[in-house]
Structure 1
Amino acid sequence: MSSTIIEKLAWRYATKKFDSTKKLSEEKLTILKEAFRLTATSYGLQPLKMVVINNTALQKKLVPFTHEQQQVADASHVLVLCTENEITSNYIKRYFEKVEKTRNTPRAILHPFELYLIDSFSEKTNDEIHTWMAKQAYIALGNLLTVCAHEQIDSCPIEGFDPEKYDDFLALGTRGLRSVLVLAVGYRAQDDLHATLKKVRRSESEIIVEID
């Protein structure tokens, strides 16, 4: 199989050791920010924000909240994927105002779907809404991992962290946010042995089901 993107996906791995002396350029960082902004989300509501941390002293303080994973200290940047604390009817209305303005679509055409979403979310519990938002964060993470591979930026997705301590330490609550996922990005250290290990994946026949 010959494909540039497949080769780059084979190149990527969950980086265990970053070279702390190497930093992402502003151009690379801008690409990641834009990739996050362009990520698909359910209904297009984008109930997410990404906190970008580029402060070595701050990153080191995150290590105890990240199950002592040194990647957050040594990475060029730490990206914290967050969800909104709540989805209100006003949030949904603002989205449709943006649709109206961006696409010049008459509000009368948009209004039925707008009302549907407002009614739908009003019937959900907070836990159901937070679960839905967390799923959107995982979509964004997958997109970022692929873009990192394409741009040959090393990355390590991290679920093993204490969200409440992150939220408190970074004062995310004051911004109406809660942390869901962490992504350390930068460049692999030359002595990271994990970079040379073969990928362990199930074969195509084991994971692909084709229905003709």
Structure 2
Amino acid sequence: MSKILESLEWRYASKRMNGQKVPADKVENILEAIRLAPSSMGLQPYTVLVIEDEELRKKIQPIAMNQPQIVEGSHLLVFAAWDDITPEHISDYISHTASVRNMPEEGLADFKNTLLSIAAKNTQEQNFVWAAKQAYIAFGTALIAAAAEKVDATPMEGFDSVALDELLSLKEQGLRSVTIMPLGYRDTENDWLAKLPKVRRQKEKLFIVQ
């Protein structure tokens, strides 16, 4: 646990990055942590776009309030939630589960019907909001994984999601962007935040023990 806490103490939301490329193995470890992240029912109702292309990141920067980390970083992760939970999504998930666990799909019929019932009783927007919440679990996992790899990762909500969805053709893929995360290495000389102490709420104010 001490290593996790040390990594979390080390990390902060870098405001400037130095352009150094993140090694492929570190990126893969972060992505694998995202893949292993928990989600309700195990459905993982989101997709993560991994954008390394510099020209595409230059197009994204003005959509994201011209934040420099978009282009100064090495990769940009875009967490995009499903815009609805469809029967096709659920059928694919059930088939995949049966395959991985080497069991007949019929043995998952009750579970499948439960998922179908939950999705059907909600509106499309309610399903999207639920999917976005699941994407945030993976997003938080990615932040911790990046810190463990000593890779800087800056969580961002400051972007025009409609414009980003249009640029990346997400609507056509049944997706809507939720949050984004540049990966890279901090520029300690130009980042005003780099040398400041981390500020977090005091334990006695953050936690209520009953």
Instruction: From 42, 45, 51, give the equivalent of 1:44.
Output: 42
Instruction: Give 1:86's aligned residue.
Output: 84
Q: Percent identity?
A: 38
Q: Distance in 2 between matches of 1:175 and 1:97?
A: 21
Q: Distance in 2 between matches of 1:69 and 1:133?
A: 26
User: Are the counterparts in 1 of residues 84 and 125 from structure 2 also a CA contact under 8 Å?
Assistant: no
Shift of 1:25: 0.8
Shift of 1:208: 1.4
Instruction: Give 1:96's aligned residue.
Output: 94
1:28 partnered with 2:26? yes
Shift of 1:104: 2.2
User: Are the counterparts in 2 of residues 56 and 74 from structure 1 also a CA contact under 8 Å?
Assistant: no
Q: Distance in 2 between matches of 1:46 and 1:135?
A: 10
State the secondary structure of the residue aligned to 1:158: coil
RMSD: 1.3
Instruction: Give 1:19's aligned residue.
Output: 18
Q: Distance in 2 between matches of 1:43 and 1:92?
A: 11
TM-score with structure 1 setting the length? 0.94
Shift of 1:85: 2.6
State the secondary structure of the residue aligned to 1:193: coil
Residue 96 to residue 205, structure 1, CA distance change in 2 (3 Å) = same
After superposition, residues 89-168 of structure 1 pair within 5 angstroms as 89-168=87-166
Instruction: Give 1:59's aligned residue.
Output: 57
Which amino acid in 1 is paired with 2:45?
P
Shift of 1:56: 1.8
State the secondary structure of the residue aligned to 1:46: coil
State the secondary structure of the residue aligned to 2:193: helix
Q: Distance in 2 between matches of 1:123 and 1:97?
A: 22
Instruction: Give 1:203's aligned residue.
Output: 202
Instruction: Give 2:7's aligned residue.
Output: 8
Number of corresponding residues: 209
**Structure 1 segments unaligned to the other structure (5+ residues):** none
Shift of 1:27: 0.5
